[in-house]
């Protein structure tokens, strides 16, 4: 299934036009009108409204709609790490208006993905190790990876697309002063000193810093985030703490978005879509065991 995401400045106007043109794409929520649809889109789940299982030019697609302002917030702060997570992987940008804030946020999201992956990797690693870590960020704690998704999904994303990942992240890696990028060998070395890790932790997205603080902060102590990050930088399990912080973002976000999908897709499409996911997971398990 081909997956589209439309970033729109005015979701009410967009849904209003789309309802007139593609009424049958929507679930029962269409009778409530574009304002209610936009309220559901913005205020529940990960801020995106999906219409799945749409036949377009002989191809099965799904498309999501997200407000530009909500997307920028997610790219910068990782409030949900949902669409921001998808945009950490190679995607095709079909068309884009000249929006300086959005372009800057897209770039910051990629840099944040690299920094977060560095914190969970050893001192020396391969390009493939890095890209697998990056591709897995938005699946950390995602309940769908237990039920509904192929367990080899991350590997399936990375292995055929190493060149595309290299194109996406190459300049960021070359310009990063904390990494030695041996392009010919496809190897990288990073600074794993407490000072180096503290520098990386201080540049993480705000929501991830807050979740790390919540993981480490004993009840009632209410420590400053910077103080907590300094402690984490000296912790041998720094990478695991970062992973727990990621899970604290992704788990509730993915659960709320999936629950929301029952209403935005409708019960019939939800059952069909879930069946397709389970079938894909079963096929992946059979490949693994054969």
pLDDT digits (tens, 9 = 90+) for 161-194: 999 999 999 999 999 999 999 999 999 999 999 9
Instruction: Give 83-107 as a DSSP string.
Output: HHHHTTS----------HHHHHHHH
Asked which of 28-32, 156-160, 216-220, 271-275 is least confident by mean pLDDT, the reply is: 271-275
pLDDT of residue 270: 59
Residue 101 and residue 17: Cα distance in Å, rounded? 26
Q: Within 13 Å of residue 201, how many CA atoms lie on the same side as its CB? A: 30
For residue 258, the model assigns a pLDDT of 72
pLDDT for position 267: 56
Q: What is the pTM of this model?
A: 0.87
pLDDT over 70 (residue 285): no
Cα 118 to chain centroid, rounded: 17
Band (272; pLDDT cuts 50, 70, 90): low
Mean pLDDT, to the nearest integer, of 190-208?
A: 97
Q: Would the pLDDT of 12 be above 90?
A: yes
Residue 279: band (very low, low, confident or very high) from pLDDT cuts 50, 70, 90: very low
Helix (H, G, I), strand (E, B) or coil at 8: strand
Whether pLDDT at 104 is above 90: yes
Determine the Cα–Cα distance for residues 154 and 165; give it in Å rounded to an integer. 13
More confident: 189 or 266: 189
In the predicted model, is pLDDT for residue 50 greater than 80? yes
Tokens 């499409």: give the residue: 269
Q: What residues does 59 pair with on adjacent strands? A: 56
Q: What is the pLDDT of residues 251-260, one digit of tens each?
A: 988 888 877 7
Residues 55-75 have a mean pLDDT of 95
Mean pLDDT along residues 268-273: 56
Q: Is the pLDDT of residue 99 over 70?
A: yes
Q: Which residue has the tokens 């009778």?
A: 31
Choose the weakest-confidence range: 42-46, 151-155, 275-279.
275-279
Domain range summary for the chain, segments of one domain joined by +: 1-77
Higher per-residue confidence, 223 vs 267: 223
Structure tokens at 234: 């000296």
Higher pLDDT, 149 or 123: 123
Average pLDDT over residues 268-275: 55
Confidence at residue 262, expressed as pLDDT on a 0 to 100 scale:
77
What percent of the chain shows pLDDT beyond 90? 75
Q: Catalogue the E-assigned strands of 167-212.
A: 179-182, 187-190
């Amino acid at each position: 299934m081909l997956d589209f995401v439309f970033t729109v400045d005015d979701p009410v106007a967009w849904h209003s036009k789309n309802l007139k043109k593609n009424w049958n794409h929507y679930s029962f929520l269409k009778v409530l009108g574009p304002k209610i649809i936009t309220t559901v889109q913005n205020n529940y789940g990960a801020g995106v409204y999906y219409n799945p299982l749409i036949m377009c030019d002989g191809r099965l697609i799904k498309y999501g709609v997200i407000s530009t302002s909500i997307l920028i917030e997610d790219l910068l702060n990782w409030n949900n790490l949902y669409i921001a997570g998808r945009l950490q992987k190679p995607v095709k940008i079909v068309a884009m208006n000249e929006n300086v804030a959005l372009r800057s946020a897209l770039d910051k999201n990629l840099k944040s993905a690299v920094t977060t992956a560095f914190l969970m990797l050893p001192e020396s690693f391969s390009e493939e190790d890095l890209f697998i870590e990056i591709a897995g960020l938005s699946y950390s704690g995602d309940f769908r990876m237990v039920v509904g998704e192929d367990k080899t999904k991350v590997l399936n994303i990375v292995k055929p697309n190493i060149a595309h990942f290299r194109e996406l992240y190459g300049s960021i890696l070359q310009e990063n002063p904390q990494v030695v990028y041996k392009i010919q060998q496809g190897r990288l070395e990073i600074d794993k000193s407490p000072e180096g890790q503290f520098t990386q932790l201080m540049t993480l997205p705000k929501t991830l810093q807050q979740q790390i603080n919540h993981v480490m902060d004993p009840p009632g102590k209410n420590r400053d985030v910077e103080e907590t990050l300094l402690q984490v930088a000296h912790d041998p399990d720094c990478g695991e703490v970062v992973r727990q912080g990621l899970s604290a973002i992704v788990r509730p976000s993915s659960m709320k978005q999936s629950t929301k999908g029952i209403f935005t897709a409708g019960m019939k499409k939800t059952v069909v879509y879930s069946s397709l996911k389970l079938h894909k997971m079963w096929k992946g398990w059979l490949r693994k065991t054969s």
